[in-house]
């Protein structure tokens, strides 16, 4: 979206609503966020209530370009400044030790804060208008807890339109990136090095090119109880209501024929040639194109009354890491579903 197309009156109204403690949904380049004044604990609590999210999960604080990091973070390693210079505004969230003035509600009671400066022009305009550009907007993805993140304003209206909890939804078109920001934990650099808590558009290799250290994969909290808690790292996140299964292209072709013969309805998300099915969406065969379209495709296929959403497994290469991570979580808990559908009589 070009900045000249921004509805400045809507931005100002949204900024005033945030200043008064209301919730405002807004577009970012990754997914839509459900925003509240990060320094207003009651407003942050309202996000948790609207999402149905547990209180101990921290939320990311969104900052305007050029906002002083030291207002939000207590200690800022030079690596954080270098990453901000390289990737902000953009789809990177950094976890840092939090400053004492950050409310507990934002950090889920942990001693860290997640900070990100988004690049979507509507998000930037909102962050500049809110508290004169000096505030922080706490915003998780604008979906109910555990559901697929929204990449269109309509997705947000579908989920929150009825209940009155969200005072405004700013429309900025389709989120360009389409999956949530990369999260890198820099809060324990000296002891743990940089840790990639959530893969995304900005790869571990791109981060390493800036700070000369490759972020490591997170250790399970069962193995390290002091590791940060991140709801985006729960196994069963980003799940539609219809069960989701992933198969490689050759297996999938065969499964489609067998499920059709068994009278089963399959909603298919794929990127190469496949036999006809009950419903199908073909996505671009590139990591960026696939990520951009993925969440809207999961929502659309969830609405097809199918027994199953089958996804053609993407390649395993580094640039596909974020997409594979989200698909694995969407499919979590559906092990054996294809087998089950083939072996039980169709209703
Ligand atoms: O792309 C994004 O990051 C989007 C847009 C709206 O900016 N936001 C987003 O927020 O995905 P959410 O809340 O759905 O996911 C944020 C993730 C969660 O897994 C949360 O636990 C983690 O960031 N997080 C936030 N603050 C943290 C902290 N202090 N320590 C560890 N993890 C944190
Ligand atoms: Mg989320």
Task: Give residue-wise pLDDT tens across range 95-111.
Answer: 999 998 888 889 988 89
For residue 76, give the 3-state DSSP assignment: coil
State the pLDDT at residue 235.
57
Q: Could you give the CA distance from residue 185 to residue 77 in angstroms, rounded to a whole number?
A: 12
Query: Going by CA atoms, what residue is nearest to atom 20 of ligand 1?
Result: 230
Q: Which of the ligands is closest to the CA of residue 58? A: 1
CA 18, chain centre distance (Å): 21
- pTM for the full model? 0.94
The token duo for 94 is 């950094």
Helices (H), the chain: 8-19, 41-51, 78-87, 104-107, 121-129, 153-160, 189-192, 204-211, 249-261, 287-302, 321-331, 337-343
For residue 306, give the 3-state DSSP assignment: coil
**Sequence-ordered list of residues with C-beta below 8 angstroms from that of 276, at least 6 positions apart, any chain:** none
**Lining residues, ligand 1, CB within 6 Å:** 28, 30-31, 33, 57-60, 93, 95, 107, 110, 112-114, 116, 118, 139-141, 180-181, 183, 197, 228, 230-233
Task: Report the chain's terminal Cα–Cα distance, integer Å.
Answer: 47
Q: How many Cα neighbours within 13 Å face the side chain of 309? A: 27
For residue 61, give the 3-state DSSP assignment: strand
The token duo for 61 is 């604080």
DSSP letters of 273-289?
Answer: -----SEEEEPPSSHHH
Q: Could you give the CA distance from residue 81 to residue 130 in angstroms, rounded to a whole number?
A: 23
Mean pLDDT by 10 residues, the chain (347 residues): 80 98 98 97 95 89 96 95 98 96 87 97 98 97 93 95 90 98 97 95 97 88 60 62 94 95 96 95 98 97 96 92 94 85 77
Q: Could you give the CA distance from residue 55 to residue 131 in angstroms, rounded to a whole number?
A: 26
Residue 278 Cα to ligand 1 middle (Å): 35
Query: Going by CA atoms, what residue is nearest to atom 10 of ligand 1?
Result: 140
The token duo for 273 is 């040639």
CA-to-CA dists, residue 174 to 293, 322, 331, angstroms? 9, 18, 24
Asked whether the beta carbons of 182 and 91 are under 8 A apart, the reply is yes
Residue 114 Cα to ligand 1 middle (Å): 7
Residue 180 Cα to ligand 1 middle (Å): 8
Asked whether the beta carbons of 81 and 199 are under 8 A apart, the reply is no
From 54, 58, 103, 170, give the residue whose CB has the most ligand 1 atoms within 8 Å, as the site to mutate.
58
**Residues flanking ion ligand 2, Cβ below 5 Å:** 141
Q: Which of the ligands is closest to the CA of residue 114? A: 1
Nearest alpha carbon to residue 246 among 238, 255, 237: 255
State the pLDDT at residue 231.
47
Atom of ligand 1 nearest to the CA of 57: 21
State the pLDDT at residue 7.
94
Q: Could you give the CA distance from residue 186 to residue 141 in angstroms, rounded to a whole number?
A: 22
Kindly tell me the sign of the dihedral angle through the C-alpha atoms of 89, 149, 12, 102.
negative
Kindly tell me the sign of the dihedral angle through the C-alpha atoms of 169, 94, 220, 318.
positive
Helices (H), 132-192: 153-160, 189-192
Query: Going by CA atoms, what residue is nearest to atom 7 of ligand 1?
Result: 33
The token duo for 206 is 């791109």
State the pLDDT at residue 59.
94
State the pLDDT at residue 234.
54
Q: Which residue has the tokens 């950050």?
A: 102
């Amino acid at each position: 979206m070009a900045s000249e197309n921004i509805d400045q009156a809507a931005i100002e109204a949204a900024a005033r609503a945030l200043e008064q403690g209301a919730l405002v949904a807004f577009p970012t380049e990754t997914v839509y966020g459900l925003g509240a004044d990060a320094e207003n604990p009651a407003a942050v609590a309202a996000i948790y209530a609207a999402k149905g999210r547990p209180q101990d999960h921290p939320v990311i604080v969104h900052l305007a370009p050029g906002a002083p990091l030291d207002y939000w973070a207590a200690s800022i390693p030079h690596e954080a400044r270098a990453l901000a210079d390289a990737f902000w505004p953009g789809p990177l969230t950094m976890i840092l030790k939090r400053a004492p003035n950050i409310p507990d509600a934002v950090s889920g009671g942990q001693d860290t804060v997640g900070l990100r400066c988004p690049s979507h022009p509507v998000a930037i305009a909102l962050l500049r208008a809110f508290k004169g550009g000096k505030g922080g907007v706490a915003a998780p993805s604008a979906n109910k807890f555990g559901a697929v993140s929204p990449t269109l304003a309509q997705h947000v209206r579908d989920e929150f339109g009825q209940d009155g909890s969200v005072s405004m939804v700013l429309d900025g078109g389709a989120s360009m990136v389409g999956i949530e920001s990369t999260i890198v934990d820099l809060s324990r650099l000296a002891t743990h090095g940089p840790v990639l808590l959530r893969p995304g558009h900005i790869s571990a290799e791109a981060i390493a090119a800036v700070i000369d250290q490759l972020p490591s994969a997170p250790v399970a909290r069962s193995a390290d109880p002091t590791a940060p808690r991140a709801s985006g790292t729960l196994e069963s996140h980003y799940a539609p209501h219809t069960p989701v299964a992933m198969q490689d292209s050759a297996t999938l072709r065969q499964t489609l024929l067998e499920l059709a013969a068994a009278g089963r309805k399959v909603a298919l998300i794929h990127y190469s040639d496949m036999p006809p099915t009950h419903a199908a969406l073909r996505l671009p065969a590139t990591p960026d194109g696939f990520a951009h379209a993925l969440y809207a495709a999961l929502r659309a296929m969830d609405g097809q009354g199918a027994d199953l959403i089958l996804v053609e497994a993407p390649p395993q290469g580094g640039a596909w890491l974020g997409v594979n991570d989200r698909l694995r979580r969407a499919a979590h808990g559906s092990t054996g579903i294809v087998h089950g559908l083939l072996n039980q009589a169709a209703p």
